[in-house]
Chains A and B, each alone.
Chain A
Amino acid sequence: MSLKDEFTKGIIKENPLFRMLLGTCPSLAITTSVDNALGMGAACIAVLLASNTVISAMRSIIPNSIRIPVYIVIIASFVTMIDQLMHAFTPALYTSLGIFIPLIVVNCIILGRAEAFASRNGVLASIMDALGMGIGFTLALVLVSSFREVLGAGTFLGMPILPEGIPAILMILPPGGFITLGCLMAGLNKLQEKFTQQEA
């Protein structure tokens, strides 16, 4: 596969959230506003990019039998850095993402890409893979959070767009997350079905 393919596959064909069902915890919990989704997406891209690069560069010297603990330590170090940086420079975002910043460590997307891609491919390909997957994840987060913020709070990125009284608070409460993600997935399945029928 060419580098361009490595980049684009993460965005639609192998989208981590919608197609591979990875990283569902943060994508349900923090998608109450588009701001949060963008912040989380950026943090994930940063960690994924750093961990994929380092793991790919070190792949020949990491002993196979202890590779998972090594990956986890590498990922945890980068998550700690991001955590400290966000605490210092974006305190508001840090408070609203809360516990989900340290929990990036156990985000299956990052460990999943390390194991499935970075440990087997070169540095350049791994960087493209990380960028594609990270951007795909961010787009998915933004999509879910746009529905929830518009329907639940009547705003988009903090700007009011719906008249008062219309927003349904349920959408920004926990059930709204499950409903939105479920319906979006069903919608995407439907779309995919349509496309494959056209091709056939």
Chain B
Amino acid sequence: MQSYFMIIISAVLVNNIVLSQFLGICPFLGVSKKLSSSLGMGGAVSFVLVLSGAITWLLQTYLLLPLNIGYLQTIAFILVIASLVQLVEMALKKIAPPLYKALGIYLPLITTNCAVLGVAIINIKKDFSFAEAMTNSLSHSIGFTMALVLMSGIRERLEEADVPKSMQGTPIALVVAALMSIAFLGFSGLI
């Protein structure tokens, strides 16, 4: 049990996927301007991340390793993720139209979100069991959503701030991210 707890704390707070592992920076900067869109992106990424985490783990353990073709990992994983995103998009359109409408525009962006492929590779690199890999994927997606929502909260306030012209937009967002990252450094004592 303790090991699962460690995985959760480590993935959500200490090694936050955005603020200390630098995965998924593009959506973090791109869709964090409004609270509602950041929640949508967080939801869509979490969904795909957990699902692809499960499938890539099974693929690696039962197909790539027994056949001794571990070097095909990158190609196999990215194909799984790309087709999964397509499938999820089609399935949601059919089964849950309201959810599709809410997540729709974010889904295609997820294929090139390095957080998804990154977590799939981390799961394999750390030799996790299936349950551990699932815990890890879920905690990373919570960490991602949390960082995104926190960031969008700050950026909504920032709209009203008097920012020097050359700092407007991305530069000030990066400086805000730096301050958040410093705050998250404080969690490193937890483990």
Contact = CB atoms under 8 A, between A and B. Distances in A.
B159 to A, nearest CB: 17
When A and B form their complex, which 9 residue pairs have the shortest distance between CB atoms, in order from nearest? Answer: A182-B174, A178-B178, A29-B22, A189-B166, A186-B171, A190-B166, A175-B181, A76-B75, A179-B178
A185 B179 CA distance: 17
B25 A80 contact: no
Contacts of B173: 182
B185 interface: yes
Q: Number of contact residues on B: which range applies?
A: 35 or more
A177 B118 CA distance: 19
Contact of B71 (A84, A179, A182, A187): A84
A177 B22 contact: yes
A181 B174 contact: yes
B82 to A, nearest CB: 6
Nearest to B188: A173
A123 interface: no
B8 interface: no
A102 interface: yes
A84 B72 CA distance: 11
Nearest to B173: A182
B25 A25 contact: yes
A55 B175 CA distance: 37
Given A28-B22, A80-B71, A106-B112, A185 B185 contact: no
**Interface of chain A, helix or strand or loop or mixed?**
helix
A69 interface: yes
Interface residues of A, number: 41
B114 A106 contact: yes
B125 A105 contact: no
A108 interface: yes
A161 interface: no
Given A102-B121, A186-B171, A72 B78 contact: yes
A168 B178 CA distance: 15
A98 to B, nearest CB: 8
Given A29-B22, A174-B22, A106 B78 contact: yes
A193 to B, nearest CB: 6
A103 B118 contact: yes
Nearest to A188: B166
A25 B175 contact: no
Contact of A175 (B83, B113, B114, B185): B185
A46 B22 CA distance: 23
A187 B72 CA distance: 42
Interface string A126-167: 000000000000000000000000000000000000000000
Contacts of A54: none
A76 B78 contact: yes
B83 to A, nearest CB: 8
A193 B165 contact: yes
A187 B175 CA distance: 13
A179 B22 contact: no
Nearest to A28: B22
Contact of A25 (B23, B178, B179): B23
Given A175-B185, A185-B171, A190-B166, A102 B73 contact: yes
